[in-house]
Structures are given as structure tokens and as C-alpha cells.
A and B are shown apart, each in its own frame.
Chain A
Amino acid sequence: MVSLENKFIRNDDIAWRIIDGEALVVSPKSSLIYPLNEVATRIWELLDGKRTVFDISSIICDEFEGDTAVIQKDVVDFIQDLLKGGLINGM
């Protein structure tokens, strides 16, 4: 489960690059590519192990339009997906 006070960091084994504003995330182990949209790319960049999920949600709220509660839930769900895919690790 992902909660707002948790911190996560991108998995070292994952390859990624931001190409033209959108990240391509590659998992060599599963041979899967995850193309991220603009907002997801920004969250991916922010997953540096220093910020909490709450911090990340706040930055996304500041930088993109939308209802705060909805954005916060979306951020939590997205981070949950990344965790499930083995793309990030908890701190």
C-alpha cells in the first residue's frame, strides 16, 4: 500500500529517458516498455527517494490543473502501479 508519507526511489535496474517531454521507462527483467504521459513523466522525475508522496502530489497540483483530491488519488494509484511493476523501491 502506498500512503502519502511514504518515499520512493526509481529502481537502479530500470532504464529510462525523457524523449520530447515524455519518459520511456524500460524494465530489462520483464522486457517491458512503459511510455509515460507528461504528468506521469513529471512524477517519475520526482521519485528521487527524498520527497514523500504528499510532496509529489503538491508539486503536481501546482504545475497541472485539476482538483487536488483527484490529483492526490491519481498520484497514489500511479505510484502503486510503478511499485507493482518493480519500477520503484520504497525507502
Chain B
Amino acid sequence: MECSQPIPISAERHLENINKKAEKKCIPMHIHLELTYRCNLRCVHCYCVEDKERQELSYKEIVSLLDQLADAGGIFLTLTGGEVFLRSDFFDIAFYAKRKNFATRVFTNGMLIDESVADRLLKLNPLSVELSLYGTNEDVHDGITRVKGSFRKLQQTIDLLRKRNITIFLKTVVMRQNLNECEDLFRLSKQLGAHSGFSFDVTPKNDGSIEPLKYRLNEDELFKYISGDIPQKWEYVEIPPHVEAVKRETCSPARNGCAISPYGDIYPCAQLLLPIGNVRERPFAEIWNSDLEVLSDIRSIRTFGDLDGCSDCPDLWLCQRCHGLAHLETGDIRSKYKLGCDATKIVKRVNELAKNRLKGGADGEEDKEALREADA
């Protein structure tokens, strides 16, 4: 008898098999647990809106929830907010999760991490502590968090975590204000021995406000970002015939994972804010295994062929579609949506450029010709 070879957590190809199995059997392996929407920063693009009328889940309720999630097959647990350290019972929750054999990730802005908190994090032994970093200097970072001194404090936090050899991810939402910082942020992460992560998704707030959208990259900026070297240079992708391309799988909310709000609402994923139930009203398993129409509808989307608005699109092979963003923008999880289509058009242009580079036409007329063809 043999134990299979260990797989690095970052090896997505291998993890894919495990995820696929969970997807097929609807086992919620990945849990995104929002502990609070309270926060001590005021980031311009933040989507979280605290509902002061509702009570956050208590420690007792969370303990019961973690028991249920463990029974359902949950193993990868992201503890997130808001700012998780604003909950005075954060470590009680996190250590209970550890006793229940969860592999935890902690998302935080780092503002409340001092020596003693860092020591407790070391003891917790999470997979990673993931911090939001928006710039390489205080003007940019503090400009986005709208709290003076937050950049400085974050630097101190990174030092505290590094000294303890805790795995750090520095994550950046790329917006107009920090687009030019990406390369330096990438370099800085490397210097600090941290992993880096970039995303350009700026979404409306939980309450529907579109205020954050003004910080989204425009078309030219998005082109600059996608065609740039950070996080990596785009490599040419060969597009298969449409009859094959349409079988491409979409993401799979409510199959191998879910998100849970501070008030106990269960969502198919952190981006898809369509509540499928509340753990204060019914046990998790009952909600997860229910025949609720919205749940079966979401789970019935498997490939691009299942999306009426997208199945004829010639560019679906390059599409970075998210059903949650489609729902936020249009109210329909199956619909095409502007941010997705705009991004795909740009990816197509970048892909044509990459193809042209392969043909040897690095920066000259052929590049421009490829662009014109893509635009046409």
C-alpha cells in the first residue's frame, strides 16, 4: 500500500483532480467565512457594508457552524472580514478551527498585529496570512485605505510575520491609482520573501452601490495591465474550434465551496451574493443539500454551452467570466456582463500580440496589424 506522492498546495493541476471530485459530489471543501464586516480602514473600493441591524454570529454559533462544516467535508477555511482582528474572539474561533483539523488562511489588513498577536498566529500555524498592500509608498497605499499611517503599520506587521517565518501573501487590487505600482509591488514582495497576488476586479458594494466602480481600470489601463509583465507575461493561447471551445468548463460556485457572511447567510461563493439560506434558521447540511431552485440552477451551469448569452461568443475560450460579477452587474448569473466582455476583448488583443511575437514580429508593424485584426 502506498501513500500518494505529496502535492504542493500551489500545484493547481494536481489539486484540480481533488477539486473536481469534490465538485462532482458537491463537497464544500473550501469555505470562505466572513467573521465581521467591521473594519478599521476605509478603502475606497471596498465592497463590504456593515448591516448594523443584524447581529454577527456569536462564538457559540460559529463553533456549531465549524462542527457542521467539518462534517460536510470542509477543510480549507479562509477567515476573513472586514477586519478579523476587530473580533475579540478571533483566536478562540481560529484555534477551535485548528482543533477541528481545518487548514486556515487568515485575510487581514495587518493593522492590529503586534508582537503578541504575531506569536499567537505562529502558534495557530495557518497556511498563510494574506495582507492587502496597495502601493510601495504611503501616498498611494494610505490614499486608497484613507487611513494615514496604514502603510507604515503594514510594513511593521510584515516584519513581525517574517521574523516568525509565517507564509505571507501580499495582495493588490489594481486600480487607476496604483496601476503603475504593479512592477514595484511584485519586486517588493519578492524581496520580502512573500507571495504576491493581483486582481483588477472592483465590484459594486454589497448594498448595490456602484461608488467603487469609478476606481476600475478603463479599457486602455486594463490593456496596459494585461499586456504587462506582472504577474506574468501573457502566453499565446491556441483557440480550439467552437464546437470544442463551448465545452469549456466555467467556475463552479456551490459545488466544492461556499461563502458565509458574518450574519450566517450562505452564498454559493464569495462573489455570488445570492443567499441560499441562513445557518441560524436551518442546519448547514440541510441548506447545502436542499432542492432550492436557485441552488440547482447555479449547479446546473457546468460549461459555457450552458450560458445562453455566451455560448455563441467566438472568444469564450479566453473569457475570464465570473457568475457572481454577472449577477452583480445584470441580476442574472447566466448573462454576459460588461466587465467580463470588456476584459475578454482586451485579452483577445493581448493574445493576438503574443501570437505575433511567436511569429517573430516583436514590436513592429505586424504587432499593429494583429491589433487591427483583433479589433475588427
Q: What is A's interface to B at a CB cutoff of 8 Å?
A: 12-17, 19-20, 24, 26-37, 39-40, 71, 74-75, 78, 81-82, 85
Which B residues between 77 and 126 are near A, CB-CB below 8 angstroms?
Answer: 98, 101-104, 125-126
B3 within 8 A of A: yes
Interface of B is mostly: loop
Assess whether A40 is in contact with B9, with CB atoms less than 8 Å apart.
Answer: no
Q: How far is the CA of A37 from the CA of B27 in the complex (A)?
A: 18
> What residues of B have a CB within 8 angstroms of the CB of A36 in the complex?
3-4
Question: Sorted from nearest, which 6 A-B pairs have the closest CB atoms?
Answer: A15-B103, A17-B75, A32-B6, A26-B103, A74-B1, A31-B9
Assess whether A28 is in contact with B7, with CB atoms less than 8 Å apart.
Answer: no
Kindly state the interface size class of chain B when it binds its partner: 20 to 34
Assess whether B3 is in contact with A28, with CB atoms less than 8 Å apart.
Answer: no
Contact count A vs B, C-beta below 8 Å: 84
The residue of chain A having its C-beta at the shortest distance from the C-beta of B5 within the complex is: A34
Q: Name 13 A/B residue pairs within 8 A (Cβ), A-sorted.
A: A13-B125, A16-B101, A17-B101, A19-B21, A20-B21, A24-B18, A28-B125, A28-B126, A32-B9, A33-B7, A37-B1, A40-B2, A85-B6
Q: How far is the CA of A91 from the CA of B103 in the complex (A)?
A: 24
Name the residue in A30, A32, A82 with the highest tally of chain B Cβ atoms < 10 Å from its Cβ. Answer: A32
Assess whether B3 is in contact with A82, with CB atoms less than 8 Å apart.
Answer: yes
Within 8 Å by CB of A37, from B2, B126, B167, lies B2
> What residues of B have a CB within 8 angstroms of the CB of A16 in the complex?
75, 101
B13 within 8 A of A: no
Q: A20-B27, A31-B8 are in contact. Are A40 and B73 (CB under 8 A)?
A: no
Assess whether A34 is in contact with B127, with CB atoms less than 8 Å apart.
Answer: no
Minimum distance in angstroms from B199 CB to a CB of chain A = 21
> What residues of B have a CB within 8 angstroms of the CB of A26 in the complex?
9, 75-76, 103, 127
> What residues of A have a CB within 8 angstroms of the CB of B9 in the complex?
26, 31-33
